[in-house]
């Protein structure tokens, strides 16, 4: 039953993937950057620390925040004492806002970059993908590159402060050309298991997440 649903969703995802490109995703989020505070103001102060903990963020640790937008995770990462925070986004307008909001936070760097082909001089202990996964269209490259960007044993998390069903409805309505349908967390996690040990899967009406560590 789940397999059949996953297959039909996979086909649907592939069709959309042909239409959407990472450039159109960047353009879409550039257009949305101006009002993003109001979109994300419902983000609960409970969810973000839980996301950070699933990614193994710790005092003095290094974190890559993927699809950071205007920086909704950054205050939490700072409060947890992360020593090096690199936040990336394909939208230059989102990054410009994030830089302004967090000017003076010395441990943070904001970069316009596509996570699927970015490189780094020093790999990270944690990778956070919060409320961004449906827009990361090149999934095989994503999994491989996150693995390269992490130290061995480093942790990643993919998480949303919403249910899969609601997110899929929302994306169908407002972001059909720039997102892929989200499958059950257990199914999405399968694509990561070749390179990662997935040790946490949550798929509830309020929280969607899977997380694990790099082999
Ligand atoms: C729905 S927004 C979420 C932003 C932020 N994480 C939040 O919770 O408010 C998704 C973000 O992912 C970014 N994004 C999409 N594809 C990306 C990629 N390949 N690499 C880096 N960022 C990407 C988009 O530009 C957008 O800002």
Q: Architecture of domain 2-214 in CATH?
A: 3-Layer(aba) Sandwich (3.40)
In the three-class reduction of DSSP (H, G, I as helix; E, B as strand; rest coil), residue 26 is classed as helix
Closest residue by Cα to atom 6, ligand 1, is 68
Ligand 1 center–CA 89 separation, angstroms: 6
Residues 113 and 94: beta-carbon distance below 8 Å: no
Give the closest residue to 50 by CA, choosing from 189, 161, 205, 136: 161
Closest residue by Cα to atom 2, ligand 1, is 132
Percentage of residues in the chain with pLDDT exceeding 90?
A: 82
pLDDT averaged over 10-residue windows placed end to end, the chain, 215 residues: 37 44 90 86 77 98 98 96 98 98 98 98 98 97 98 98 95 93 98 98 96 98
The DSSP string of 41-99 is TT--TTHHHHHHHHTT--TT-EEEEET-TTTTTHHHHHHTT-SEEEEEES-HHHHHHHH
Closest residue by Cα to atom 14, ligand 1, is 67
Paired with 196 in beta bridges are: 214
Paired with 87 in beta bridges are: 65, 110
**Alpha carbon distance 62, 153 (integer Å):** 13
**Alpha carbon distance 113, 93 (integer Å):** 12
Average pLDDT of the residues of the chain: 90
């Amino acid at each position: 039953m789940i397999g059949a649903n996953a297959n039909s969703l996979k086909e649907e995802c592939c069709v959309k993937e042909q239409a959407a490109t990472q450039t159109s995703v960047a353009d879409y989020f550039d257009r949305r950057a101006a009002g993003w505070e109001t979109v994300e103001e419902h983000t609960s102060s409970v969810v973000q620390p839980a996301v950070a903990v699933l990614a193994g963020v710790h005092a003095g640790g290094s974190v890559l925040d993927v699809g950071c937008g205007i920086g909704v995770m950054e205050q939490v990462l700072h409060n947890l004492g992360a020593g090096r925070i690199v936040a990336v986004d394909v939208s230059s307008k989102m990054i410009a806002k994030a830089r302004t909001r967090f000017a003076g936070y010395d441990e943070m760097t904001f970069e316009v970059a596509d996570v699927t082909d970015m490189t780094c001089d020093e790999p990270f202990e944690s990778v956070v993908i919060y409320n961004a996964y449906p827009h990361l269209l090149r999934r095989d490259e994503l999994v491989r590159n996150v693995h390269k960007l992490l130290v061995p044993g480093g942790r990643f998390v993919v998480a949303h402060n919403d249910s899969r069903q609601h997110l899929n409805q929302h994306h169908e309505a407002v972001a059909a050309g720039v997102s892929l349908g989200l499958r059950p967390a257990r199914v999405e996690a399968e694509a990561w298991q070749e390179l990662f040990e997935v040790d946490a899967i949550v798929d509830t009406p309020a929280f969607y997440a899977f997380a694990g560590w790099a082999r």
